[in-house]
């Protein structure tokens, strides 16, 4: 269920982004990694099944192989996200460096705007 900030006083709402960033989101990322891994296995099995039983050629084969590559990359990204989440949990309470945080925000904006 999405969190609705309109239901809480402003004194609480101002601390929620920090709480979500350092505690809630990292735990969610770690918990969801198993689901990402399961999807990878399911998609790989289905892709291999399609190759073996339907013997796709040309465009269809390229599509199946692209899915296999993408699934592998997405699973690896999920593993990296888990590593970042664990680091965020470990660093909770450490002194924050504004210049580093600003650079990370800028990189995030660049990724969102990448097309």
Residue 58 in this model has a pLDDT that exceeds 50 = yes
Confidence of residue 46 (pLDDT cuts 50, 70, 90): very high
Half-sphere exposure of 39 (CA within 13 A, CB side): 14
Instruction: Tell me the per-residue pLDDT of 59-101, one tens digit each, with 9 for 90 and over.
Output: 999 999 999 999 999 999 999 989 888 887 887 767 778 888 8
Work out the pLDDT band at 56, boundaries 50, 70, 90.
Answer: very high
Q: What's the angle, vertex CA 18, arms to CA 13 and CA 20, rounded to 5? A: 85
What per-residue confidence (pLDDT) applies to 27?
Answer: 83
pLDDT for the residue 91: 78
Rounded to whole angstroms, the Cα distance separating 101 from 108 reads: 11
- pLDDT tens-digit series, residues 12-40: 444 455 555 556 778 888 888 999 999 99
Q: Which of 99, 101, 79, 112 is nearest to 22 (CA)?
A: 101
In sign, the C-alpha dihedral spanning 79, 83, 89, 94 is negative
Rounded CA-CA distance 31/50 in Å is 30
Q: Would you say the pTM of this structure is higher than 0.85?
A: no
């Amino acid at each position: 269920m999405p969190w609705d900030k309109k239901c809480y006083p402003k004194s609480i709402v101002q601390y929620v982004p920090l709480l979500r960033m350092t505690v809630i989101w990292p735990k969610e990322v770690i918990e969801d990694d198993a689901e990402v891994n399961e999807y990878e296995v399911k998609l790989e099995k289905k892709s291999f099944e399609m190759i073996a039983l339907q013997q796709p050629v040309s465009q269809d084969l390229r599509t199946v192989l692209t899915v296999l590559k993408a699934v592998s990359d997405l699973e690896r990204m999920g593993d990296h996200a888990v590593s970042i989440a664990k680091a965020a949990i470990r660093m909770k309470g450490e002194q924050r460096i504004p210049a580093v945080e600003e650079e990370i925000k800028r990189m995030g904006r660049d990724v969102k705007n990448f097309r």
